[in-house]
């Protein structure tokens, strides 16, 4: 049995992760935490997630429950995830990291820790999005430099990072396929007298509204035709199911940095 720790247990993803974890054979919830001062500290994690009591109370100190888990699934916030990364590295625990919004320096810290522990790190754990990443590589290679490429993403009003981690990964896949560097060819939103479009750029547009779970469209637009690759998530359970699958997978792997393509065998 692989024992899972879920920080951010009362969050949008935390509740779905607890649900997915207790439904998955071979996994059990070993620990759950929330930020110090959170109103649900001391509550049963299963009750908070709506799946009935699991006998695991939400704590505020991960170090205190370090002997109760083998794999930590982290969907919180960059600074919080990095504190957990340090703890997991010191105690030899595997990690699944779904948090987005890391800086380049913060991503380097995750890469460094993967010398000592096994980590699955992906901005989107859904099978559909990871399939789309494959399709995007093919589309970019076929359509090449003859199209304008725009990436449009929409998420709920509470999301704090933009563009989404998924949109950025989609941009990286397309840029790599075309031999471009996303750092120099990305254009984030447009306003005013922008001039005509430069075909070598990759544009990003962000929508934040209501309760949208997560939608991504990549447009390859030529004169006379347009190809769009679209993914729409209608439930967070699609991310949670992927994350618990990754947790089962990573517990059997030696140190290293992996992504969902490794987990799914894509």
Ligand X SMILES: O=C(O)C1=N[C@H](C(=O)O)C[C@H](O)C1
Nearest residue to the partner ligand NAI, using Cβ: 11
Q: Is 8 in the site for ligand X (CB under 6 A)?
A: no
Residue 221 is inside which H or E element, if any? strand 214-221
7 neighbors 72 (Cβ within 8 angstroms): yes
Nearest residue to the partner ligand X, using Cβ: 214
Q: Where are the beta strands (DSSP E) in 83-211?
A: 94-97, 118-121, 148-155, 186-188, 202-208
Residue selected from 30, 46, 78, 123 as contacting ligand X according to rule CB under 6 A: 123
> Backbone phi, then psi, for 181, in 5-degree steps?
-105, 115
Q: Is 241 in the site for ligand X (CB under 6 A)?
A: no
Measured from the CB atom, is 78 or 123 closer to ligand X?
123
Q: Is 165 in the site for ligand X (CB under 6 A)?
A: yes
**Residues in the chain, how many?**
266
Measured from the CB atom, is 21 or 132 closer to ligand X?
132
Measured from the CB atom, is 103 or 194 closer to ligand X?
103
Minimum distance between the CB of residue 246 and ligand NAI, rounded to whole angstroms?
10
Q: Is 214 in the site for ligand X (CB under 6 A)?
A: yes
Q: Where are the beta strands (DSSP E) in the chain?
A: 2-7, 27-33, 58-59, 71-74, 94-97, 118-121, 148-155, 186-188, 202-208, 214-221, 226-233, 256-258
Q: Is 159 a catalytic residue?
A: yes
Which residues are identified as catalytic?
A: 155, 159
Binding-site positions for NAD(+): 8-13, 34, 98-100, 122-125
């Amino acid at each position: 049995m692989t024992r899972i720790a879920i920080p951010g247990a009362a969050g949008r993803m935390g509740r779905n992760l607890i649900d997915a974890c207790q439904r998955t054979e071979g996994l059990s919830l070993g620990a759950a935490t929330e930020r110090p001062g959170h109103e649900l500290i001391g509550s049963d994690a299963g009750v908070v997630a709506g799946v009935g009591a699991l006998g695991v109370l939400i704590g505020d100190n991960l170090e205190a429950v370090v002997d109760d888990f083998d794999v930590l699934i982290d969907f919180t916030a960059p600074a919080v995830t990095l504190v957990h990364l340090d703890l997991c590295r010191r105690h030899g625990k595997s990690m699944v990291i779904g948090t987005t919004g890391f800086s380049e320096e913060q991503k380097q810290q995750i890469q460094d820790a993967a010398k000592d522990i096994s980590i699955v790190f992906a901005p989107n754990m859904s099978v559909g999005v990871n399939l789309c990443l494959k399709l995007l590589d093919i589309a970019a290679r076929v359509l090449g430099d003859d199209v304008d490429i725009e990436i449009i993403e929409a998420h709920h009003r509470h999301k704090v990072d933009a563009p989404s981690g998924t949109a950025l990964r989609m941009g990286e896949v397309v840029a790599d396929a075309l031999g471009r560097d996303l750092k120099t060819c990305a254009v984030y939103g447009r306003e005013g007298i922008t001039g005509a479009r430069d075909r070598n750029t990759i544009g990003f547009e962000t929508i934040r509204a209501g309760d949208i779970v997560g939608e991504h469209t990549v447009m390859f637009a030529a004169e006379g035709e347009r190809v769009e690759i679209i993914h729409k998530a209608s439930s967070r359970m699609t991310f949670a199911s992927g994350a618990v699958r990754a947790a089962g997978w990573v517990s059997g792997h030696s140190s290293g940095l992996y992504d969902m393509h490794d987990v799914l065998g894509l």
